[in-house]
A = this chain, B = another copy of it.
């Protein structure tokens, strides 16, 4: 017995006519007639007597109706488990983001998201080194570079660039390098090799070559503060440095470009609250324009 046929029969039984029941169910009257016929054939029973006067339930139809009503109760209870949450987008969405993007771009804007979707709860976490969307370590991930093939839905967000910076104080004391070859004579600030969380994040070697940084810090802001404090020359995100008066660009022709990608596991495609967050991030990035360059 087709349970959808049964559900439709229940509405016919209550309505007393095919036309009215069809309207209530949002299907065509012809469809409902056929679904009912299908059910009667399957059960080898006449459930209703149809005519221009509508549909009268037979005794057999009465008996079946009682059972389907119990099924309906259970189904409605099951549906109720999800109803409120889907409509209100309630629930938690965990965003994994590299701290450059997460702290500098996203964190200041999460207030907008919170006001727009008061029923939503957002968690912002760093992207762990061996990140797995399939393990649900985050619902939405901001990644550097396109994620490898897998069950992820991915979309490029934006490009961004990094460059060499040092504090004025440091350069006054140590001199400003005139060429890349001069860098080996300087104190360098970079990230922790072992904790590089994505192939795209090993840009330090693109700037420093074989020279290993004297000071290795795992977070972008940690590196920023160290460079600002005069620790040495470091590779910083242009959009993070912005117009910071305490920092000077070093060897400006040395620049590297990366791109941020947004990804989430495909099984979350149907979850409205996840889609709301995805849409929000995308729209904010679009609205900011070339934000990492205009600063």
Q: Are B45 and A3 in contact (CB under 8 A)?
A: no
Q: Give residues 1-17 of A contacting B (CB, 8 Å).
A: 1-4, 6-7
What are the residues of chain B within 8 A of A44 when measuring CB–CB?
A: 82, 85-86, 270-272
Q: Are A79 and B1 in contact (CB under 8 A)?
A: yes
What are the residues of chain B within 8 A of A77 when measuring CB–CB?
A: 67, 70
Expressed in whole angstroms, the minimum distance between the Cβ of A2 and any Cβ of chain B is 6
A51 adjacent to chain B (CB < 8 Å): yes
* Residue in B2, B74, B79, B134 whose beta carbon sits within 8 Å of that of A74 in the complex: B74
* Residue in B68, B81, B85 whose beta carbon sits within 8 Å of that of A78 in the complex: B68
Known: A67-B74, A68-B78, A78-B67. A271 touches B7 (CB 8 A): no
Interface size range on A against B: 35 or more
Q: Are A81 and B63 in contact (CB under 8 A)?
A: yes
What are the residues of chain B within 8 A of A243 when measuring CB–CB?
A: none
> For the complex, what is the distance from the CA of A1 to the CA of B40, rounded to whole Å?
23
Q: Are B1 and A78 in contact (CB under 8 A)?
A: yes
* Residue in B45, B74, B85 whose beta carbon sits within 8 Å of that of A68 in the complex: B74
